[in-house]
Structure 1
Amino acid sequence: MIRLSRPFVLPLLALALVACRDEAPRAPAAATPTPQGEVPLAEPPREPVELADVVETDPRYIVGITYPPEVNRYPGLAAELKAYSDAAREDLMEAVAGLEADATAGTLYDLALEYKVIADTPEIFAVAADGSSFTGGAHGAPLIARFVWLPQQDRLLTADALVRDPEAWRAIARYVREQLHAALSQRVDADDLDPAERERVVRSAGRMIDEGATPEADSFSEFEPVTGTDGRLVALRFVFPPYQVGPYSDGVQTVEVPAAVLLPHVDETYRPLFSEASAPQ
């Protein structure tokens, strides 16, 4: 499903609106050896992609997508972003197709998606995708994705490649859940609820944390690099969209996991990405 961090209106989307009214699937990364040591055949190369901003209006819907121009330096990454955008647009158009002809005058669906560069070093180039897709209801469906590209390897860095041992996710998940529960307690305390209501909120939201941060790579698929002065990783910031570890009203939640916690579990291939100063002593 597609996901969102917070409501916002893209500059291009705003212009288009004035004119007309007042866990997406990603393509597989480069082939890696199978457990038997065999290397599967690589997929056929994709057609070159040159990303450009999109503004599309119709009496029934509006689409606004913006891309940072730097992404075009990496054709493989550009193809990943286009695939994500295309999947989001396909979802929107399926909903548009279901609109009754006589109901279009009062219904305007929209897709707003913005990509931003959040890291740019020789070893890591990362892009954040944030947006929403509105097809009715109280609010748009969240659109959240993070793309961490390794220029020297010409591939995406994914959670399951970063930490290959399924058991290792238990330690990482435990750290993340502790941070999320602590943040939950702080939010609830700030609301100054009566004891019975506080207990109910903590129990309900705490259950969402435990169910949304299970010890597996899929629970931590969206993450951002945190780099030090030398440009290498000192931490990873895991990003959780609304509904994964809390209600929609809590918005996007993040937990920064330091390299000292991660490195004992990181695959040897990717340990050079981390700063030596941040390694556990």
Structure 2
Amino acid sequence: MNIAGNRRALRVSALALAMGVVVVAGCKRDGETAAPAAPVETAAEPAAPTVAADAPVELRDVIETSPQAVVGISYPPDIARYPGLAKALAGYADSARAELQQAVDGLGNDKPTMPYELSLSFEKVLETPQLVVVTADGSRYTGGAHGEPLVARFVWLPEQQQMLTADKLVADAKGWKAISDYVADQLRERVATRLSGDELEPAQMQESLRNASRMIADGTGPSADNFSQFQPLTGADGHIAAIRFVFPPYQVGPYSDGTQTVDVPAAVLVPHVAQDVAGLFARG
């Protein structure tokens, strides 16, 4: 296990000991519309101060317990050196906490049978002069049979001081069609291999394949939205050798299949990536 893996294991163990169980959530608050300012003939009032994009962001691990809820959040220790990325992580965690709090508020004075829970672990899995990649994995529990998984990936471009998102990664619809076809083929082959070992009757096998293929087709349609969670995998030269696309439970399979991933090699991606990020990729 590498250093990052050891660090993550220690943090997760500490959270488990402190809380017993950990689980996660995410939500967004509705924006508020400001009332229009009254017209004036003199110079406009100065705007309210805003936080600069490169202002330092302090991220601290969280362990909180109450009769109604348990919260555990952990961050990479040195991520503050990338303020824009740190701000994005903080925003994601704040949304997760707000979602949990909304559920807790709905309880009123009642106490749940099991405490509502939020567990979220951010891990830095790649750091080069061109790329910093952070994974976010966790779950939220607000009642029911099991928690709801929360899966996110953050790809930061230090030189451009911006996030690499799916809509900036691939240039056009033709590119997403090529990626969609590749990913769907990999997922279907994976399902067929698994089902072949289940000793199903031919009719059962065909029905299971049809159902799986339907979910895969729905979850891998050729659009940026379906491929929004991804992380680059680099070769020895630091260039991107593949992109690992990440699919949370329910997107391309049932909950029991868990989070699924497909690695798409640079050879498939390079003809379709946007020009301003093409230099990040390895070329055969």
TM over 0.5: yes
Aligned residues: 248
Q: TM-score, normalised by structure 2?
A: 0.83
Matched residues in 2 for 1:138 and 1:195: separation?
32
Identity rate of aligned residues, in percent? 52
Matched residues in 2 for 1:187 and 1:100: separation?
46
Deviation at 1:44, TM superposition (A): 6.2
Secondary structure of the equivalent of 1:167?
helix
Equivalent residue number for residue 235 of structure 1: 242
Equivalent residue number for residue 190 of structure 2: 183
Matched residues in 1 for 2:199 and 2:89: separation?
43
Equivalent residue number for residue 10 of structure 1: 12
Matched residues in 2 for 1:221 and 1:130: separation?
15
Alignment of 1:50-61 (within 5 A): 50-61=58-69
Matched residues in 2 for 1:92 and 1:157: separation?
28
Matched residues in 2 for 1:251 and 1:105: separation?
26
Q: Structure 2 stretches of 5 or more lacking a match?
A: 1-10, 29-49
Matched residues in 1 for 2:164 and 2:199: separation?
42
Task: Determine whether 1:204 maps to 2:211.
Answer: yes
Deviation at 1:233, TM superposition (A): 0.4
Q: TM-score, normalised by structure 1?
A: 0.84
1:176-213 CA-partner distances (Å, limit 9, x unpaired): 11111101111111222222222222111110000000
1:22-46 CA-partner distances (Å, limit 9, x unpaired): xx579xxxxxxxxxxxxxxxx9635
Task: Determine whether 1:81 maps to 2:89.
Answer: yes
- Structure label with greater radius of gyration: 2
Please give the root-mean-square deviation of Cα atoms over the aligned residues, in Å. Answer: 1.9
Matched residues in 2 for 1:242 and 1:105: separation?
25
Alignment of 1:94-243 (within 5 A): 94-102=102-110, 104=111, 106-243=113-250
Select the structure with the greater relative contact order (CA < 8 A; seq sep ≥ 6): 1
Deviation at 1:72, TM superposition (A): 1.4
Matched residues in 2 for 1:213 and 1:274: separation?
23
Whichever residue aligns with residue 183 of structure 2, its letter is V
Deviation at 1:158, TM superposition (A): 0.5
